[in-house]
Amino acid sequence: MIHFRRVSYWYPDSPEPVLRDVTFDIEEGEFVLVIGPSGSGKSTLLRCINGMIPHFYGGTFAGAVRVAGLDPVELGPKGMAHLVGFVLQDPEAQFVVDTVEDELAFAMENQGLSMTLMRKRIEEVLDQLSIAHLRHRRISSLSGGEKQRVAIASVLTLQPKVLVLDEPTSQLDPQAAEEVLTVLQKLNEDLGLTILLSEHRLERVAQYADRILWVPAPGRPPALGAPAEILAQVDLTPPLITLAKAMGWRPLPLTIKQARPFARRAGLVGQPSLQDEESVIRRRPPNAAPQDSLTVDMRDVWYTYPGTDQPALRGIHLQVNRGEFLALMGRNGSGKSTLLKHIIGLLQPQRGQVLVAGHDTRRHSVEELARFVGYVPQNPGALLFQDTLQDELEFTLRNHGMPPRDYTPLLRALGLEPHLERYPRDLSVGERQRAALAAILVVEPQVILLDEPTRGLDYPQKRSLAGFLKEQKAQGRTVIMSTHDVELVAECADRVVILGEGEVIVDGPARKVMTSSMIFSSQVNKLLRDDRFLTVEDVLASIPPAEVGQ
C-alpha cells in the first residue's frame, strides 16, 4: 500500500537530512503506530505520504514514495487528497467553516462531487464516527475530542484508502483521546482502512497496532516491526512495559490483562488492603495546619464566569503548606484551571478569600503576587516572544525590577543550557514547555503553579519534568499542578485533590487516594493492586536485585 524507497529529505536551509535513506513497506489494512521522541522526524515522514513534503515545505527530496501505486511527489497534496486523509495535531487550527456539516462537505466540494453524492457520504460519515448528533453544531462549541472526530470525518468523506494522523490526541485530555482512538480502531477493523498514527499514549494504542514504526532520531533509519519486538528495544515506554522489561517478562505484555499472569507468577500481586474508603475521601478540616506555615489558603471561594450561570468554583476550602506537592485532578471543566488562576490573582473570588503567604489576592495586583507565585500557563506559546531564550529570562527579571542573576543552574536543571541563544519558538514542544518554566522560575518564586504541564510531552520529557519538579520541592518550594496525567502524579505528588463541578470531592495523601481509586490510579497499581506499589521504582525497590530479571 505504502512503499518508501531510499527516501531522504532536507528541510530548506538545513545541512542535515531529517530522513536519510528511509525504506519500508506497509500493507493494505494495517494499523501502524509511529513512535519516536519529539523532533525525530515522525511528522516529516508522515507528510511524505500525501506529498505535503516536499510540495508544501520545499526543501530537497530524494528517493521514491508510492501510495497505492501513485507518486505523491508528482501529484502533490491536492492530487492525493482522494487517497490519503490527513489529520493534524491541533484540533483548533484545521477547520475552514464554522458548522460541522459544512466542514464535512468542504473536501468533497473541492473534488467537485455532485450534491446527491455529497449528501449520501455525509450521512454515512456521520454514522461511522457517531457524530450525527453534532451535525448542526458550531465547531467552536465542540469539545476537543468532538473536534478531532469531526476532523477525521471531514477527510473520510473522500473515502480515502489511507488515513494519516499526526499526534491527533496530544492536545486532548484522556477521555477525549479515548474517544478518538476508539473511533480509529473501529475504522481500521470495520472498513479496512490503512492507518498511520503517530502517538505518545502507547499504553492505550500499543495493543491495537499491527506494527510499530520507530523513528529514533533525525537522519537515523526507522525500524518497523511487531509491537512487542519494537517496544523491547525502545526506551520511551509506559510504566507497565518499563516494569515488564525490568522484570524480564517475555513475550512483552502490552496490556494490564496480558501482564497479570506474569505478575502473579512473580508473586507481586498483593491483596488489596480493605482500607477504609471513607477515611481517604474525608476532606481536611479547615485550618488543620498552624497558620504561619500556610502558603496558600483558600476559604470558601466561589466564582462564576461572567455570562454563565453555573459557578465554576463552589465553596472551595483548601490549605496548602509550604513544601507540599499538590496535584489537582478531575475531569475537564471541573474547575482546576479556575482554581489555579485564583492563587495567582488572575481571577478574584466573588465570595470568600484567597490568601497567598498571608496576602489577600484582592488587595494585591497579579504583578506583585507574581514575585512569589510562579504560574506556568498551559500553552507555552502564549509566553515566549523574544529572539533568544536569554532575552526571555532577562525580560522577566527586568519586569520585576530584579538585577541580572546567574540562571545557569536553573537552565542546567532544565536541560536548556545549550539553547540559551536559540529562538524559543523554534524549540521542540518539550523544550518550549521547559523554556516557559525557566522564564517564570527565573525569579525563584516560592509557589509554583502548573496548568497541565505534560500536555504533548513524550515519556522521557515527562520523566525529566517530574525530576525537575521533585527537585524544586526538595528545595522547599510549594508545587501545585493541575493534570490528567496519573503517572506523573504517582511519581511526584504527595497530596491529591480531586475536583468535581467546582467542589473538592477528595483531598488526601497521594498514595492513599490513588490506591483507593478506580480511575485515578497508576498502571502499576492497577496491575499489582497493592498499596505499596504506585510506580515502577516502588516495585523494583521492594525486591532484591538478584531476583530482578529472572
Question: Looking at 23-31, 189-197, 305-313, 533-541, which segment touches other proteins (CB under 8 A)?
Answer: 305-313
Nearer to other proteins, 169 or 516 (CB): 169
46 belongs to the binding site for other proteins (CB under 8 A): no
Q: Which of 72, 77, 42 is nearest to 56 (CA)?
A: 77
Q: What stretches of 215-370 adopt beta strand conformation (E)?
A: 223-225, 294-303, 313-321, 325-329, 351-356, 359-360
Among 142, 137, 164, 135, CA closest to 152: 164
Angle of helix 174-191 relative to helix 115-128, nearest 10 degrees, comes to: 120
Q: Which of 271, 308, 475, 550 binds other proteins (CB under 8 A)?
A: 308
What DSSP letter does each residue of 134-191 carry, written as one string?
GTTSBGGGS-HHHHHHHHHHHHHTT--SEEEEESTTTTS-HHHHHHHHHHHHHHHHHH
User: Which residues from 396-415 bind other proteins, rule CB under 8 A?
Assistant: 396, 399-400
For 54-72, give one letter per residue: b (16+ CB within 10 A) or e: bbeeebebebebebeebeb
Residue 114 vs 550, nearer CB to other proteins: 114
Residue 169 makes contact with other proteins by CB under 8 A: no
Binding-site member from 13, 16, 114, 406 for other proteins (CB under 8 A): 114
CA dihedral 263, 264, 268, 272 (to 10 degrees): 110
- Which range of residues in 8-16, 194-202, 260-268, 339-347 is near other proteins by CB under 8 A? 339-347
Cβ at position 513, least distance to other proteins in Å: 29
Q: Which stretch binds other proteins (CB under 8 A): 195-203, 258-266, 392-400, 532-540?
A: 392-400
Residues 57-76 that bind other proteins (CB under 8 A): none
Please tell me whether residue 333 binds other proteins under the rule CB under 8 A.
Answer: no
- Strands of the sheet containing 19-26, edge to edge, are 19-26, 2-10, 60-67
Q: Does 440 bind other proteins (CB under 8 A)?
A: yes
Contact 506, 521 (CB under 8 A): no
Binding residue for other proteins, selected from 21, 102, 494, 503, defined by CB under 8 A: 102
Question: Is there binding between residue 127 and other proteins (CB under 8 A)?
Answer: no
Q: Is 113 in the site for other proteins (CB under 8 A)?
A: yes
First-to-last CA distance in the chain? 42
User: At residue 301, what are phi and psi to the nearest 5 degrees?
Assistant: -85, 125
Q: Is 266 in the site for other proteins (CB under 8 A)?
A: no
Q: Considering only residues 79 through 98, tell me which ones interact with other proteins, judged by CB under 8 A.
A: 81-82, 84-86, 88, 90, 92-98
Contact stretch for other proteins (CB under 8 A) within 250-258, 363-371, 510-518, 519-527: 363-371
Cis amide linkage into residue 251, ω under 30° from 0: yes
**362 near other proteins, judged by CB under 8 A:** no
For other proteins, which is the closer residue by CB, 93 or 274? 93
d(CA 53, CA 43): 10
Give whichever of 105 and 326 is closer to other proteins, judged by the CB atom: 105
- Minimal distance in Å, beta carbon 456 to other proteins? 14
Selected from 371, 470, 526, 532, the binder of other proteins by CB under 8 A is: 371
Nearer to other proteins, 150 or 539 (CB): 150
In angstroms, what is the minimal distance from the CB of 136 to other proteins? 5
Neighbours of 363 (CB within 10 A): 9
Cβ closest to other proteins, residue 350 vs residue 399: 399
Give the CA distances from residue 550 to residues 134, 143, 288, 320, in Å, rounded to whole numbers and listed in that order: 53, 47, 47, 44
